[in-house]
Amino acid sequence: MTKLHPNPKGKYIVGVDIGGTFIKAALLDRQGHIVAVTRRPAHAERGVDATLSMVVEAAREAMAEGKAAADQVCGLGMGVPGRHQSEEGICIYSPNFMGWTNVQLLQPVEEQLGVAAFMRNDVKTATLGEHRFGAGRGFRHVVMITLGTGIGGGAIIDGELRLGSSEGFSEVGHMTVDPHGRQCGCGNHGCWEAMAARDAIIERAVRAIQTGRATALAAHGQNLSAITPAVIYEAAQKGDAVAREVLEETGMYLGIGVANLIQLYNPEVFIIGGGIAQAGELLFDPLRRTVNARAQMVPASTCQIVPAALGDDAGVIGASVLVLERLQAKG
Amino acid sequence: MTKLHPNPKGKYIVGVDIGGTFIKAALLDRQGHIVAVTRRPAHAERGVDATLSMVVEAAREAMAEGKAAADQVCGLGMGVPGRHQSEEGICIYSPNFMGWTNVQLLQPVEEQLGVAAFMRNDVKTATLGEHRFGAGRGFRHVVMITLGTGIGGGAIIDGELRLGSSEGFSEVGHMTVDPHGRQCGCGNHGCWEAMAARDAIIERAVRAIQTGRATALAAHGQNLSAITPAVIYEAAQKGDAVAREVLEETGMYLGIGVANLIQLYNPEVFIIGGGIAQAGELLFDPLRRTVNARAQMVPASTCQIVPAALGDDAGVIGASVLVLERLQAKG
């Protein structure tokens, strides 16, 4: 493969955020502002070629909408879930895309679109976006996590996103926080994401219902699959004691992991994003109490804990930073 | 304070390792070879001036023994336990040195010795030594821990020792590995060092004795303070079942922390040093089994786990690297 070089004269960058359900593509200027944005189905079930065609189509539409010709585009950046050898354009595996085992992602995009393409893990990409243009702006030491189905992480250390020896840096969701805890999808027991992400929250609520506790959530007793984190927050906000306990326990486990990462990465700012972070103070209050109690050697006071600032745009904005970094490295 | 500059024309470097009991000073060449070495009592109880006088005395003796005049010395490096603002020469606090709260360590040494002086945390200094001249040589991603009274850590990421925003990077001993575990000296419960360092090992043995289990360790029953990790290893090596269980459980907790650090730092090599690491396979075997079972997302196979190579010399050798790095940064 002959890798294309980014075009230093371009005014625009294409940022792509690949999710399990949708692909989002944006045309951005070099200051991280979104000029045009579009979405396509990810077609995860149809194989890598189908998904990459959607990426190219979405990129073309964003460019057309923003009236950007290919020669006005510096390059395309892409945030992709999973583990990669991203310099080589290879996805080693991606949890939502069955069959994406050692597949080449950049070459087909470059060939079809004619612009230089770059990629990173999706959460690491979002971290770049928050660092350059969001809640981490101006800091040299930043940790970001996204709370959802799992817990993803990215870390900026001495001003740079760190990948480690095989792009496994900051796999924060898979640190053990309770040796006897629930089994995680990875096979280990008591991983942070097994104790504090989506399934753990739901399981706590279901257990309370099954033991017959009085809770508004029991109205879903015939259809446990209707119990989602959003349903639990709603009940908690209305004062449901069981729902509040679920968030309290989840927040406590979240706080253990946050305190650990403060001891290990010593960041100035700790950014929390992802759908579950929407739960607000009912989750953040026990989280902060736990961090204050447990972060002793590197004290909680050394680090601000803040919500993500770019919301759902962090991915495409971060993807544009992947291209900006290459342009700056060039000189 | 006018900070002295390292002398690029010097042939030698002085490396100092400050411990709670002894100060060790060595004269080294620029390739990390020890030319002369000496020891002095640390006089931790006599205050900072007394200890720094011992540092200067030991440095002068090592220089005299190696026939190195002050103008042949590039500079002096010093590994110091505790948390520091090391660029400013300030020790914020040091666990073994009562009263070392915001004290200046480099200025008195520079004034008395007439050579540029530099400092870092002791374990981070040893990590520099193992990276440049020991078990981490040639790797760009290295984690080192020292097992003893506590668990100290250092991390080389993309070829450089990382300090974080306030020199709290890699405070590995204070990540929670068991939310309901023993209280740690830092105040938190279930810290890695509270579960796997010296006191945890001893407490496991004492508990077994007190519950009346048959063990050779019970011979110390009248004098529990005679039970040390060394006594426990010795009994385990002779086949004592209780002593073996103590090492098995300790190795399991060590493995949890090692697996966590592999998920978080994604190193190529994981170096284990410190007195307790002497226990060998009775400790390393359960440690490795736990890492193999728990390190799934970033697999155990990505990282070699190896013993430290420089032994007790890692501190003074790493201290010389502090000076070498300045010389190289200069040009």
Measured between CB atoms, does A289 come within 8 Å of chain B? no
Nearest-10 Cα torsion for A196, A202, A208, A210: -140
Q: Contact A264/B296, CB-based, under 8 Å?
A: no
Q: Contact A186/B296, CB-based, under 8 Å?
A: yes
E strand or H helix at A304 = strand A304-307
Backbone angles phi, psi at A271, to 5 degrees: -100, 130
Looking at the predicted structure, is the pLDDT value of residue A42 above 80? yes
pLDDT tens for B51-88 read 999 999 999 999 999 999 999 999 999 999 999 999 99
Mean pLDDT value across residues B233-253 = 96
Distance from CA of B328 to the nearest CA of A (A): 19
Mean pLDDT of chain A: 95
Looking at the predicted structure, is the pLDDT value of residue B1 above 90? no
The pLDDT, as a whole number, for residue B275 is 84
The pLDDT, as a whole number, for residue A222 is 73
Q: Contact B298/A176, CB-based, under 8 Å?
A: no
**What percent of chain B shows pLDDT beyond 70?**
98
CATH architecture of B12-122: 2-Layer Sandwich (3.30)
Looking at the predicted structure, is the pLDDT value of residue A88 above 90? yes
Measured between CB atoms, does B267 come within 8 Å of chain A? yes
Task: Give the ranges where A66-172 is alpha helix by DSSP (H).
Answer: 106-113, 122-133
Q: Contact A297/B186, CB-based, under 8 Å?
A: yes
Q: Contact B263/A168, CB-based, under 8 Å?
A: yes
**What percent of chain B shows pLDDT beyond 90?**
90
The pLDDT, as a whole number, for residue A223 is 79
The pLDDT, as a whole number, for residue A2 is 66
Q: What is the largest CA-CA distance in chain B?
A: 66
Question: What is A135-309's CATH number?
Answer: 3.30.420.40
Contact B198, B182 (CB under 8 A): no
Cα–Cα nearest to A256, from B190, B145, B151, B265: B190
The pLDDT, as a whole number, for residue B219 is 87
Contact B80, B122 (CB under 8 A): yes
The answer for residues whose C-beta is within 8 angstroms of residue B167's C-beta and 6 or more apart is A266, B83, B84, B85, B86, B121
Half-sphere exposure of B301 (CA within 13 A, CB side): 2
pLDDT tens for B254-296 read 999 999 999 999 999 999 999 888 888 999 999 999 999 999 9
Strands A103-104 and A73-80, sheet pairing: unpaired
Measured between CB atoms, does A296 come within 8 Å of chain B? yes
Measured between CB atoms, does A166 come within 8 Å of chain B? yes
Predicted TM-score (pTM) of this structure: 0.96
Mutation pick from B169, B182, B287 vs chain A, by most beta carbons of A within 10 Å, is: B169
Rounded to whole angstroms, the Cα distance separating B296 from A188 reads 7
Cα–Cα nearest to B1, from B158, B126, B111: B111
Which residue on chain A is closest to B155 by alpha carbon? A264
Residue B323 binned pLDDT confidence (cut-offs 50, 70, 90): very high
Mean pLDDT value across residues B147-151 = 94
Rounded to whole angstroms, the Cα distance separating A213 from A231 reads 17
The ipTM of this complex is 0.96
Distance from CA of A235 to the nearest CA of B (A): 27
Class of domain A12-121: alpha beta
Measured between CB atoms, does A188 come within 8 Å of chain B? yes
Q: Contact B266/A158, CB-based, under 8 Å?
A: no
Mean pLDDT value across residues A232-249 = 96
Mean pLDDT value across residues A224-243 = 93
Mean pLDDT value across residues B158-171 = 98
Residues of chain A with CATH 3.30.420.40: 12-121, 135-309
Looking at the predicted structure, is the pLDDT value of residue A273 above 70? yes
Mean pLDDT value across residues A229-233 = 94
Strands A22-29 and B12-18, sheet pairing: unpaired
Percent of residues in chain B assigned helix, strand, coil, to nearest 5: 45, 20, 30
Q: What is the DSSP letter of A266?
A: -
Mean pLDDT value across residues A252-280 = 95
Contact A215, A243 (CB under 8 A): yes
Residue A330 binned pLDDT confidence (cut-offs 50, 70, 90): low
Q: Is A114 exposed, middle or buried (0-12, 13-18, 19+ CB in 10 A)?
A: exposed
Rounded to whole angstroms, the Cα distance separating B247 from A187 reads 25
pLDDT tens for A77-86 read 999 999 999 9
Q: Which two tokens stand for residue A189?
A: 């027991």
How many CB pairs below 8 A link A and B?
A: 146
pLDDT tens for A62-76 read 999 999 999 999 999
How many Cβ atoms from other residues are within 10 Å of residue A138's Cβ?
9
CA angle A181, B244, B186 (to 5 degrees): 55
Distance from CA of B16 to the nearest CA of A (A): 25
pLDDT tens for A303-326 read 999 999 999 999 999 999 999 999
Looking at the predicted structure, is the pLDDT value of residue A208 above 80? yes
